[in-house]
């Protein structure tokens, strides 16, 4: 799997483009608000973009969905509990944060334990509510890599005070799911740098706070 990170927009959102180097099948995980930079990379590498995968519905992760869909006719994946927010500019916060509202639809709705195949890459969907009701993480099968969206950062966890946020859900997610991930798993978050799960367990104060509740 080839992985490329782009840091996009006012609040430095990570957009990841992954692809199978043999088949050139590719996916964008959270296309932030800059379709040009993503399209340039996808076209320069001759990727077949069939999948846009959204870790959750917030505006800073979905800005380029419409442009990419128009260009590549790809499928758009989101958890069913964040579908409403994807369409609703008040819930995805684009109305507040941007001058233009974002309202997009998804045609692939995943449930817990869905899998997505991109060439020979297999992504396993893990439902991790807390930051939003339909937040998900993506585990790359047979590799120690998890994309965590705004559920878990190297130095914190996602905000809980936005629409759909829930401290109770986040406590469950961290204690029952995230804390089970082994130390050698590499975390690729929605904001900030990647880190090893072992470091997060040692140094991430918000993670530690939740573990001690
Ligand atoms: Zn978010
Ligand atoms: Zn975000």
The three-state secondary structure class of 89 is coil
Looking at domain 2-211, its CATH class is alpha beta
Output the pLDDT for position 153.
98
Output the pLDDT for position 113.
80
Q: Which one has a higher pLDDT value, 44 or 111? A: 44
User: How far apart are the CA of 191 and the centre of ligand 1, in A?
Assistant: 9
Mean pLDDT, residues 125-133: 97
User: How far apart are the CA of 39 and the centre of ligand 1, in A?
Assistant: 23
Q: Is the pLDDT of residue 211 over 80?
A: yes
Mean pLDDT, residues 112-118: 90
User: How far apart are the CA of 180 and the centre of ligand 2, in A?
Assistant: 24
The three-state secondary structure class of 186 is strand
Residues in the chain: 213
Reported as a pLDDT band with limits 50, 70 and 90, residue 47 is very high
CB-based burial label for 65 (10 Å; 0-12, 13-18, 19+): buried
CB-based burial label for 213 (10 Å; 0-12, 13-18, 19+): exposed
CB atoms within 10 A of CB 8: 22
Q: Is the pLDDT of residue 110 over 90?
A: no
Output the pLDDT for position 100.
82
Output the pLDDT for position 64.
97
- pTM of the predicted structure, to 2 decimals: 0.97
CB-based burial, 103-123: b 16+ in 10 Å, e otherwise? ebebeeebeeebebebbebeb
Output the pLDDT for position 126.
97
Domain ranges of the chain: 2-211
User: How far apart are the CA of 189 and the centre of ligand 2, in A?
Assistant: 9
């Amino acid at each position: 799997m080839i992985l490329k990170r782009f840091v996009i927009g006012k609040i430095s959102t990570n957009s990841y483009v992954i692809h199978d180097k043999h088949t050139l099948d590719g996916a964008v995980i959270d296309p932030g608000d800059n379709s040009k930079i993503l399209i340039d990379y996808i076209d320069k590498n001759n990727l077949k973009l069939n999948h846009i995968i959204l870790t959750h519905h917030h505006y800073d992760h979905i800005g380029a969905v419409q442009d990419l869909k128009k260009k590549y006719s790809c499928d758009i994946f989101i958890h069913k509990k964040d579908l409403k927010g994807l369409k609703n500019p008040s819930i995805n916060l684009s109305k507040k944060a941007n001058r233009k509202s974002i309202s997009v639809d998804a045609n692939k709705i995943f449930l817990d334990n869905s899998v997505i195949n991109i060439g020979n890459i297999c992504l396993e969907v893990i439902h991790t509510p807390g930051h939003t009701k339909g937040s998900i993480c993506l585990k790359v099968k047979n590799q120690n890599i998890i994309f965590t969206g705004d559920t878990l950062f190297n130095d914190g966890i996602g905000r809980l005070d936005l629409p759909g946020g829930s401290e109770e859900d986040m406590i469950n997610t961290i204690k029952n799911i995230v804390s089970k991930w082994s130390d050698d798993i590499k975390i690729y978050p929605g904001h900030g740098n990647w880190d090893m799960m072992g470091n997060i367990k040692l140094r991430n104060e918000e993670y530690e706070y939740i573990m001690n509740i």
